[in-house]
Amino acid sequence: MQPVDFTTLTAVYTDLQANWLPARLEQVYQRDRHTICLALRTFKQRGWLTISRHPQAAHLCIGDPPPKAPDTFTFSDQLRHQLNGLALVAITPVAPWERALDLQFAKRPGDAILWHLYVEIMGKYSNIILANADNQVVTVAQQVSEQKSSVRPLLTGQPYELPPALTQTPPSLSEPQPRWQERVSLIPGSLKRQLLKTYRGLSTQLVESAIREAIRSGIAAANLHPEQTTDTLTQADWDALYQRWQEWLTTLEKGTFQPGWTQNGYTVMGWGMVQPVESVQSLVYRYYRDRLNQQEFAQLRHKLRQKVDNLLGKLGQKAQTFRDRLNQSDRADTYRQQADLLMAHLHQWEAGMQSITLTDFETGEPVTIPLNPEKNAVSNAQSLYKRHQKLKRARNAVEPLLAEVNQELHYLEQVAESLSQLEDYYSTEDLQTLEEISEELSQQGYLETPEQRQQSNTDESHPHRYQSPSGFEVLVGRNNRQNDLLTFRLAGDYDLWFHTQEIPGSHVLLRLQPGSVADEPDLQFAANLAAQYSQGRQSEQVPVVYTEPKHVYKPKGAKPGMVIYKQERILWGKPENGRLVNKL
């Protein structure tokens, strides 16, 4: 993940100074233990300043509004108590070339500063600190005790101290090329390492993009690379790099940043840009939102997949045990017949017999009956009658248990199918869909409800949308919540409902206007999608049932997504054709 370097932070706070000062602080909300959101209102606009101290994705930018969920964090309570209603009047670096900002609050512009909110964007050491007018720490997002850091502890009640001073040389636009070149090449070593060791404000990403830009300009050698030693660079290489150096410092001084996407991340310098972005705020917010969502998506999906697979394995074993017991109970009549035979031929029994062979009443075939030699014929027959009764009782007890396990298996197979459709993260919709599956499993008692769920986004995800050959809308559920939504809330009297026959899969709804009739291509289109979004997607063709929504029912007490239907018709869906169509 690309970290926020000094250049990116400068671009962000330069934009904040130009467009968001002064601003009234109207609300404070804490998304999670890493992220604070401040609602700012200026004369022209209102927005949310997102401040994150995430160890891999610390950043600062204007972003989307936070979710409408309860905020139960103590840190945000303290910020609300001290800062609500005040004006954000200034944003300044705490020291030259440091990745730490001082957000200053007063009653109104021009008044004395009452509070300092220090935002330190320093990778895993990132932090958010509130200090009063005397620079005494009042609250801190992550307290740092003397045991954790003897160099710079951060505790409430103590004076706020600046981060340890940087040891590298501060860059200067007026520094001539010979002196700059001499500093970097004084001790031969890799170009990237020497630049990072010599000067402040640089990052790995910035140095590498500057080198690529130097090559692209046509001045530097095409084989120039970050790990190349400084004593092997030609003068043309140095000239091209110094041009980029001057361009970087000029951009910092004038604030003429060019935000945009690169092939592997983002840039605010315009170097390697493949798609420009209008605002540096939206660039930074989208990048870290998507990266953090992607990380959360992968972790949550792995957790859910592992849990569901374990449950399916255990339930499968349980069902097999019940089936084995039913198979045993199938022999109940055999034991009764053997007991009847033995009682009819008591005269043939002899003491000490371990088995006896008798002629079956109906077939006339010989039947061998095992005996307990310590019991007489009547006692052996009574044992067989008891075994017959026991197995009959077992069947009556096991059959409903097996039916219950099969229903649970069917439900979890449906959940597993929904998870298999969510293999990769592409948008916030994917994470919302996955979170709804997690919430559903918690409600059904399969997962413990995690504490962070109360901080997650409460917006509902949406089904996939397609358009049939005749222009009708086709909706495909992505989880059980969406399946129930399609079938029982969105479906109208003229619509058609599709689902794979006896195979876990999504509910598919072909939406028809009053008086319109779906042609064969439309029906086949919906059937192909139902086949594609099912457990049978690897097959060449899959049986798909369709009926009117009024013929689809949810049995009493059924789990989410579980339905029964009648008056269905069957089509053969082709998953391959369903994969070829594009979503709206």
| pLDDT at residue 451 is higher than 60 | no
Task: Write down the mean pLDDT value for the chain.
Answer: 91
Q: Is 471 found in the same domain as 419?
A: no
Question: What is the arithmetic mean of pLDDT over 547-568?
Answer: 93
The answer on 469 and 434 residing in a single domain is no
Angle value at C-alpha 29, between 28 and 35, nearest 5 degrees: 115
Q: What are phi and psi of 63, to 5 degrees?
A: -135, -170
100-128 residue pLDDT tens: 999 999 999 999 999 999 999 999 999 99
Is-contact 106 114, C-beta < 8 A? yes
Residue 452: per-residue pLDDT: 45
Q: Mind listing the pLDDT tens digit for each residue in 500-543?
A: 999 999 999 999 998 888 999 999 999 999 999 999 999 999 99
pLDDT at 220: 81
Peptide bond into 259 cis (omega under 30): no
Please report the pLDDT score of residue 323 as a whole number.
86
Residue 289 covered by a domain: no
Residues 319 and 432 in one domain: yes
Q: What is the pLDDT of residues 32-49, one digit of tens each?
A: 999 999 999 999 999 999
Domain assignment present for residue 231? The answer is yes
For the stretch 322-351, pLDDT in tens is: 888 887 776 777 878 888 888 988 888 888
The answer to the question of residue 283 being in a domain is: no
Q: Can you tell me whether residue 418 is helix, strand or coil?
A: helix
As a whole-number percent, the residues of the chain with pLDDT over 70 amount to: 98
Cβ burial of 318 (10 Å; 0-12, 13-18, 19+) is middle
- Domain presence at residue 288: no
Angle of CA points 466, 470, 471, to nearest 5°:
45
Q: What is the pLDDT of residue 455?
A: 41
Among 140, 163, 185, give the residue marking a domain's end.
Answer: 140
Pair 388, 446 in one domain: yes
The SS3 of residue 123 is helix
pLDDT tens per residue, range 46-69? 999 999 999 999 999 999 999 888
Q: Which of 452, 485, 520 is where one domain is finished?
A: 452
> According to the model, what pLDDT value does residue 219 have?
84
| pLDDT for the residue 459 | 66
Distance (Å, whole) CA 530 – CA 475: 10
Tracing tokens 């006692």 back to the chain, one arrives at 379
pLDDT grade for 450, boundaries at 50, 70 and 90: low
State which residues form the domain around 50: 6-140
pLDDT of residue 456: 45
257 & 330 share domain:
no
pLDDT of residue 395: 78
Long-range contacts made by residues 448-453, C-beta under 8 angstroms, separation at least 24?
A: 452/32
Tens digits of residue pLDDT in 189-222: 999 999 999 999 999 999 999 999 999 888 888 8
C-beta neighbour count of 201 within 10 angstroms:
21
- Is the pLDDT at 411 greater than 70, yes or no? yes
Radius of gyration of the chain (CA): 36
Split into its structural domains, the chain has a count of 4
Predicted confidence band at 474 (pLDDT cuts at 50, 70, 90)? very high
Same-domain pairing of 203 and 254: yes
> So what's the pLDDT on residue 410?
93
257, pLDDT greater than 80: yes
pLDDT of residue 347: 86
Q: Are residues 201 and 102 in the same domain?
A: no
Answer yes or no: do 237 and 347 share one domain.
no
Residue 47 is part of a domain; what is its CATH number?
A: 2.30.310.10
Mean pLDDT of 389-403: 83
Q: State mean pLDDT over 225-234.
A: 92
Q: Is 487 in a helix, a strand, or coil?
A: helix
Residue 147 is assigned to a structural domain of this protein: no
- Cα torsion 499, 505, 511, 512 to 10°: value is -20
Percent of the chain at pLDDT > 90 equals 74
The whole-angstrom separation of Cα 254 and Cα 251 is 5
Mean pLDDT, residues 292-302: 94
Per residue in 130-172, pLDDT tens? 999 999 999 999 998 888 887 888 899 999 999 988 899 999 9
What's the pLDDT at 44?
A: 93
454 pLDDT band, cuts 50/70/90, is very low
Residue 248 pLDDT > 90, yes or no? yes
- Is 169 part of any domain? no
The full length of the chain comes to 584
Residue 245 sits in the same domain as residue 345: no
Q: Are residues 189 and 269 in the same domain?
A: yes
The dihedral through the CA atoms of 64, 65, 69, 75 has a sign that is positive
383 in any annotated domain: yes
The pLDDT of residue 175 is above 80: yes
Looking at the structure, tell me whether residues 448 and 504 fall in a common domain.
no
Domain closes at, from 112, 140, 168: 140
Q: Which residue has the tokens 């939406």?
A: 511
For residues 425 and 481, membership in a common domain is answered with no
Residue 152 counted as domain residue: no
